Amino acid sequence: MATLWNKGTEATEVVDRFTVGKDRELDLRLAAYDIEGSKAHIKMLESIGLLTADELDVLTAGLDRILAQVKAGRFVLEDDVEDIHSQVELLLTRELGELGGKIHAGRSRNDQVLVDLKLFLRDELKQVREEVLTLFGTLQTLSERFKDVLLPGYTHTQLAMPSSFGMWLGAYAEALADDMQGLQAAYRVVNRNPLGSAAGYGSSFPLDRAMTTRLLDFDTPVYNSVAAQLGRGKCELAVASALAGVALTLNKFAVDCIFGMSPGQGFIHFPDELTTGSSIMPHKKNPDVWEILRGRCNRILACPNEIAMLNSNLQHGYHRDFQLLKEILFPALEQIHECLQMADYMIRHMDVNTHIFDDPRYELLFTVEEVNRRTLAGTPFRDAYRQVGIEVNQGQFHYAVPAHASELGHTHLGSLGNLCSKQIAAVMEKAAAW
């Protein structure tokens, strides 16, 4: 296998197969970013005199031709090429001869792959941000549309107090605003430039790291070269933790939808084409989409722990263990994109039951309302609580169930009559400003 590090001996095929693993196929996702990083690097090399202006033009044009192959889907890793970095340099040297080999001066594959990953993760996080914003907007729209439709609230999975579809949907919108804070924090960790740290100890070349930071639109360099390598694994952990926050929100929403569409509740309904049936029971409408979404989100929730375990017990500096991080994080990114898009698709087709409270079993949800009414009329709270409790136990409690949530008169911030949708939108706008 052709390797950049070869010094006259080759690893055996069995060693190659074991150590390379899935890295070659995962590397293809980094091809465009590897070229982007290389173009910034050679501009910097020209600025410090390690390339002439003509050499820079020739190398840049060569890299642009390879990038065109990537965008057209024609770029491949040849069978005897170890990784994306080797393939790009091989193509350049085939076309340009020795000039192609000059691209690697002042750089190691260690800082090269760090740059590739950070540019890739930066774009991935931006895509997640847009998908979260789309789902957030849908939730807020539906929250306002159904804000007056009553919905049972639960604690301990037992009937508790009256809620509304507006409150339920708005709650998940605000949860996504919190999740966006985590995505922003991960983006800040990602968006720092490791290029120029080389193998983790810098270079004797007078590299202009501030220049590559500007060219690649990073916020700052990772200043200490050793710290750049310490960031390997930690950067992925920050991203995985942010994804896990989103996944937890989606997971809970999926569970709510599975519960709410069950025959015993019937709070929400999805068209037949968005559910599945049974091979033996003709009446079944299974929530398979929400079940798969729930399961995928559980897998994403496991990623931070897996990354943390892979990254622990390692001395500072590069270790080949880090290569396995892509096998954990890249599938999680694919899954969070799919889950966010599918959750938005499903709720856009969701119907809500506007007559849930016609069922007399939900009358007990209003015991607190009655306790509060008696308290406002002058009965001490504990006495009112005891009175209502006795009536419930004796089967004598009755309450005039309102037709709409607004009739309950809840007015404080975040209550049924004051969902604070605009304030929540402002929180999300601030959290998404990156």
Amino acid type, 108: S
Radius of gyration of the chain (CA): 29
- Per-residue HEC secondary structure of 315-363 comes to CCCCCHHHHHHHHHHHHHHHHHHHHHHHHHHHHHCCEECCCHHHCHHHH
Q: End-to-end CA distance of the chain, in Å?
A: 42
pTM of the model: 0.92
Q: Is the pLDDT of residue 96 over 50?
A: yes
Q: Please check whether residue 329 is in contact with residue 236, taking contact to mean a CB–CB distance below 8 angstroms.
A: yes
DSSP code for 229: H
Q: Write out the residue limits of the CATH 1.20.200.10 domain(s) in the chain.
A: 109-357
Confidence band (pLDDT; 50, 70, 90) for 434?
A: very high
* pLDDT value for 16: 60
Q: Please check whether residue 2 is in contact with residue 90, taking contact to mean a CB–CB distance below 8 angstroms.
A: yes
Amino acid type, 300: I
Q: Write out the residue limits of the CATH 1.10.275.10 domain(s) in the chain.
A: 13-104
**Residue 228 to residue 322: CA distance in whole angstroms:** 13
Q: Is the pLDDT of residue 24 over 80?
A: no
**Residue 182 to residue 342: CA distance in whole angstroms:** 21
* pLDDT value for 5: 45
* pLDDT tens-digit series, residues 389-408: 999 999 999 999 999 999 99
Q: Please check whether residue 177 is in contact with residue 136, taking contact to mean a CB–CB distance below 8 angstroms.
A: yes
Tell me which residue of 351, 425, 406 sits closest to 164, measured CA to CA.
406
Least confident of 147-151, 166-170, 229-233, 242-246: 229-233
Q: Find the mean pLDDT for residues 209-234.
A: 95
Q: Please check whether residue 63 is in contact with residue 35, taking contact to mean a CB–CB distance below 8 angstroms.
A: yes
Strand, helix or coil for residue 155 = strand
Cβ neighbours of 432 (radius 10 Å): 18
- Could you please report the per-residue DSSP string of 368-422? HHHHHHHHHTT--HHHHHHHHHHHHHTT-------SSGGGG---STTBTTB--HH
Strand partners, 2: 81
Which superfamily does CATH assign the domain made up of 109-357 to?
Fumarase/aspartase (Central domain) (1.20.200.10)
Provide the CATH topology of domain 13-104.
Fumarase C; Chain B, domain 1 (1.10.275)
* pLDDT value for 100: 93
Tell me which residue of 259, 257, 261, 267 sits closest to 355, measured CA to CA.
267
* pLDDT tens-digit series, residues 114-140: 999 999 999 999 999 999 999 999 999
Buried b (16+ CB within 10 A) or exposed e, 103-129: bbebbbbbbbbbbbbbbbbbebbeebb
